[in-house]
Amino acid sequence: MNILQNRFLRASATTTALLGLLALSAGQAVAQAVAAPTVYNLILKQGGVPLTCARGSFTFDKAALAPGTTSGSASAAEVTIDAGCFNRVINRQNVLWPTEKLTFNGGLTISLKDLVSKQEQPVPSVYGVTGVLTSGNNRIEVSYSPNSGITERVAQVCANTPCNQDSIVAVMTYHAFNTQSVPEPQTLALIALGVAGLGLARWRRQRG
């Protein structure tokens, strides 16, 4: 076996080891994402525009649900509303509300619906959120209601209880966004090609 062959085998071994580490890391990432509860951001909007002064999140573990289950309970549900986020009408005058930052906590029920994935197979996806979050006497009522095939997702903010015409401060729409993602096969393939290319370039330098 000549020197050129030795160099080629060393470069190939290096590339194989790197690809093995890549596959192992990807497998661990997938396993962790599937096994661990997922954090979802609650994106709150008014007029279709995301708000920066009102934001929230919750944790939900789809993997812990029995097959065919269509709903489950969230944990660590929280919404923060900054001081002066909304205008509230008091005695026919607009008043900034709240006067200080408020943190709302409570229980949320997550509804699931089978959606078609990129692999053309149905997977359970977060479809709607219902529940009540409170901060002192203030509350946020979160709900969704399918209407003619369109799902309306609403977060209703109330100063005081119950939520009625006199206590409603703001009505928002919400969107639950999964903050944890797993690399897709196409992405992993591109990374693998990059690693292989680095191994080939190293072998060529050694050969030259």
Residues 136 and 169 in one domain: yes
Which range in 13-22, 61-70, 76-85, 122-131 is most confidently predicted, on average pLDDT?
76-85
Residues 129 and 172 in one domain: yes
SS3 194: helix
High-pLDDT (> 90) share of the chain, %: 44
pLDDT at 2 over 60: no
- The answer to whether position 113 is within a domain reads yes
Residues 110 and 44 in one domain: yes
| Residue 100 CB partners (closer than 8 Å, separation 6+) | 83
- The answer to whether position 194 is within a domain reads no
- The answer to whether position 121 is within a domain reads yes
Split at pLDDT 50, 70, 90, the class of 30 is very low
Query: What does the pLDDT read at residue 171?
Result: 95
Mean pLDDT of 107-136: 85
- The answer to whether position 207 is within a domain reads no
21 is in which domain, residue-wise? 1-35
| Residue 187 CB partners (closer than 8 Å, separation 6+) | none
Residues 25 and 72 in one domain: no
d(CA 126, CA 155): 16
Residues 122 and 77 in one domain: yes
Split at pLDDT 50, 70, 90, the class of 53 is very high
Mean pLDDT of 152-162: 92
Query: What does the pLDDT read at residue 68?
Result: 84
Phi, psi of 28 (to 5 degrees): -65, -40
Based on its alpha-carbon atoms, the radius of gyration of the chain, rounded to whole angstroms, reads 25
- The answer to whether position 86 is within a domain reads yes
Split at pLDDT 50, 70, 90, the class of 77 is very high
Eight-class DSSP state of 137: T
Q: Quickly tell me which residue has 């994935």 as its tokens.
A: 117
- The answer to whether position 195 is within a domain reads no
The helix-helix angle for 3-35 and 185-207 (nearest 10°) equals 160
Mean pLDDT of 72-84: 97
Q: What pTM, to 2 d.p., does this model score?
A: 0.68
Query: What does the pLDDT read at residue 33?
Result: 44
- The answer to whether position 175 is within a domain reads yes
Indicate the average pLDDT of the chain: 79
Residues 25 and 127 in one domain: no
pLDDT at 129 over 70: yes
d(CA 107, CA 77): 7
Query: What does the pLDDT read at residue 92?
Result: 83
Spatial contact of 17 and 158, defined as CB atoms under 8 Å apart: no
- The answer to whether position 59 is within a domain reads yes
Number of domains observed in the structure of the chain: 2
pLDDT at 152 over 70: yes
Residues 156 and 58 in one domain: yes
SS3 7: helix
